[in-house]
Amino acid sequence: MTLCWRLDDGRQTLVLGCDRDRLAEVVYWGARLPDDEDLATLYAAHSIDVTGGMLDQNPELSICPEATRSFPGQPGLIIRDGDGTAYLPKFCLSGVDTREDGLTLTYQDQDNLLTYVATFDIDPVTHIITAEAALRAARPVHLHWLAAPVFPGPQLSDEMIDVSGRWCGEFQLNRTAWSPGIRYRENRTGRTGHEHFPGLVIPCRGATNARGEAYAFHYGWSGGHRMIAEELPDGRRQIQFGHAARMESQPRTEFRTGTLYAVYSDDGLNGCAVAFQRHLRDRVVTWPEPDRPRPVHYNCWEAVYFDHRMEVLKDIATRAATLGAERFVLDDGWFGQRDDDTSALADWEVDPRKYPEGLDPLITHVKEQGMTFGLWFEPEMINPDSKTFRAHPDWALGAEDQIPGRHQQALDMANPDVRDYLFERIGSILSSHDIEYIKWDHNRVLPMPDAAQTRGTYDLLDRLRAAHPRVEIESCASGGGRIAFGILARTQRVWLSDSND
């Protein structure tokens, strides 16, 4: 028996279907279909002919392509038992939850005691489709790969556009022709990265910035990630996004992908961009004061670096206010014994040598100039030359002999003791001072890509946001090294690039 479901907004329709309770396929995604469209006929028309020398039946390009169906491309799930034995799950539909603008499909593998859940929602205002996948196991398993629900690539496209970059050279567009095989992009730096932004745009033939059909995707995750755009031997195409391979370092019983954001546009590439921008502003970012215009910043970093002297900073603040600045940001160098970038990172206490009366005299002067006050932190990092490292060397992530970056190592954000320490230290400073803004920096790649590291950062941000809801946070990572909807759901703005001269 064939089952079909559809999600609509005013511009697009997404149709999923399955036969004999197998994993669903996206059988149509494009311009809005008539309300009375025969979905069963659409599903039947979706199938392609079997060619010689191949299988007797084409395996489904499903939302989680299955190796057990002899799928000829990248499967959507790769898991192993504790002894390394590969699972070969065979999922069967066990539940359907339909909502006005959403759909959740639940599948069971009774032999391996696995549950797979795919969730789709469509926003009728922003036109963004969100999709997530989750896996539950009765006993701990090793996850090598779990794709967010898989979408087909359009046949009427000759190329794809993805994004690369480097420090001070973020967001460089690459156009690659479709061809048999895989376009494979993976970031293993432990953050979104300058190198491989988790996004993909697929223009259909003849599309321009303002005209024609285009599809776009963004994987809203702030850690290591993978994108696969594959053309199968039979000509079908698939798009997969997920965490970077082997990101789950420990066996677990529950796994979840990040959110995959997808959109169809008949207004060219600009239509995709407008939809993402609107969804980001209206659905992802939450502001302490949504109706207030964002203030003009003055950041003192290039003016003083680590040489903090009260009278100099007050003079700079006065000049900044005269120029029209509305927020004064005190950058690196205010804490511990931080005289250069070799020491004191993670010692989040005001330096009494530079600020014998604390930060309040500077904050008071800044406010007298009509500005608000912001403060720089780099919570996820630590210098080996710091009081915190000497007290807790086990808090540093990775091997002892790892290559440092900017003389620093990363903290193990999966460790709840680390998160509790950071919450107490940062929270104490926010509670005892009139601070409206944090610049949250992240200046080195991680020694290993681990999803637990990103989840730990999210947890700390969520706790600080809940405890200090009026504090605005900006995400910075050596410029634009961590820009994704995952971090923007917990911050209000991003530092786009260090290329600001």
194 vs 429: CA distance, rounded Å: 31
Q: Cite the beta strand spans of 82-224 per DSSP E.
A: 92-99, 102-109, 114-122, 129-146, 151-152, 159-166, 169-177, 181-187, 199-203, 214-220
470 vs 437: CA distance, rounded Å: 9
Catalytic site positions: 441, 498
Query: Under a CB-based contact definition with an 8 Å cutoff, are residues 241 and 472 in contact?
Result: no
332 vs 378: CA distance, rounded Å: 9
CA-based R_g, the chain, Å:
25
Contacts 24+ apart (CB under 8 A), 398-402: 398/446, 398/447, 398/448, 399/447, 402/447
Query: Under a CB-based contact definition with an 8 Å cutoff, are residues 198 and 454 in contact?
Result: no
Residue 236's H or E segment, with its range, is none
Q: Cite the beta strand spans of 44-110 per DSSP E.
A: 77-80, 92-99, 102-109
Query: Under a CB-based contact definition with an 8 Å cutoff, are residues 415 and 378 in contact?
Result: no
CA atoms within 13 A on the CB side of 330: 28
Of 117, 105, 127, 106, give the one whose Cα is nearest residue 8: 127
Instruction: Supply the DSSP string of 160-189, one letter for each residue.
Output: EEEEEEETTEEEEEEEEE--SEEEEEEE-S
Q: Is 322 exposed, middle or buried (0-12, 13-18, 19+ CB in 10 A)?
A: exposed
Question: Can you say whether residue 225 is alpha, beta or left, with left for phi > 0 and alpha for psi between -120 and 50 degrees?
Answer: beta
Token couple for 316: 């700079």
Query: Under a CB-based contact definition with an 8 Å cutoff, are residues 181 and 252 in contact?
Result: no
Specify the amino acid at residue 271: G
Token couple for 447: 């020694």
| Helices 416-432, 451-467: inter-axial angle, 10-degree rounding | 30
Query: Under a CB-based contact definition with an 8 Å cutoff, are residues 410 and 397 in contact?
Result: yes
Specify the amino acid at residue 360: D
What single-letter DSSP state applies at residue 355? Answer: -
Query: Under a CB-based contact definition with an 8 Å cutoff, are residues 196 and 187 in contact?
Result: yes
